[in-house]
């Protein structure tokens, strides 16, 4: 019995490690691609592996993977691979670090909560709703932080337009819609992974 438990724990840790590596790679790729866009910040492409982790291993794992996402975002901000994030880091390092972790952990945690609530009726519905709520939380916390703590930078990024318009049409528009779209497109992949996992456990 204890040998089986050890094997299951090893498989769990391996799965979480693989998902963490995917998150790191996707976020670095996202930061590199962002350099070829007019946006001052990178698009988040890592929410699906976070959702998969939360669905397979539970809410705490979703929060942990969100923390991994937050850590890699913070590193990219510090080294300058995320230009917009680097500006925030130079303006207020402690607050920027807190923001990276809070929005990442919250996105993973809430995605896990939504999946666990709705997967009882349908795993597919659980994945879709988690895929929708995750970017809402991630982008929502970022927008709120920009308004409350980085208003001067927000005004500068708005470049003559109103800060509210910039948030609605750029951050919560372009950024959010790309994140949401990629999540919805990839949610069937996440559902397929969960079904394969379920069959393996039978």
Question: Tens digits of per-residue pLDDT, 42-99?
Answer: 667 778 888 889 888 989 999 999 999 999 999 999 999 888 889 999 999 999 999 9
CB atoms within 10 A of CB 202: 4
pLDDT value for 158? 77
Instruction: Tally the domains of the chain.
Output: 1
- Compute the CA torsion angle 135, 136, 140, 141 (nearest 10 deg): -60
> Length of the chain, please?
202
pTM for the model stands at 0.85
Q: Give the CATH number, domain containing residue 165.
A: 1.10.1760.20
Q: For residue 65, what are the domain limits?
A: 2-201
Check whether 151 has a pLDDT greater than 80.
Answer: yes
d(CA 20, CA 138) in angstroms, rounded, equals: 18
Question: Tens digits of per-residue pLDDT, 118-130?
Answer: 988 888 888 888 8
């Amino acid at each position: 019995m204890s040998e089986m438990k050890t094997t299951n724990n090893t498989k769990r840790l391996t799965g979480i490690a693989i998902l963490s590596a995917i998150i790191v790679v996707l976020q670095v790729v996202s930061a590199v691609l962002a350099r070829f866009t007019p946006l001052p910040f990178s698009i988040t492409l890592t929410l699906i592996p976070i959702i998969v982790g939360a669905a397979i291993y539970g809410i705490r794992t979703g929060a942990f993977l969100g923390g991994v996402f937050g850590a890699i975002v913070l590193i990219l901000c510090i080294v300058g691979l995320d230009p917009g994030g680097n500006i925030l880091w130079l303006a207020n390092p402690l607050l920027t670090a807190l923001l990276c972790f809070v929005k990442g952990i919250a996105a993973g945690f809430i995605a896990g909560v939504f999946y666990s609530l709705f997967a009882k009726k349908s795993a597919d519905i659980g994945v879709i709703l988690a895929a929708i709520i995750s970017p809402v939380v991630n982008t929502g916390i970022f927008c709120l932080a920009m308004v409350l703590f980085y208003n001067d930078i927000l005004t500068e990024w708005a470049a003559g337009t109103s800060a509210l318009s910039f948030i609605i049409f750029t951050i919560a528009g372009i950024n959010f819609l790309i994140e949401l779209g990629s999540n919805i497109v990839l949610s069937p992949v996440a559902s397929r992974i969960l079904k394969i996992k379920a069959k393996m456990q039978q």
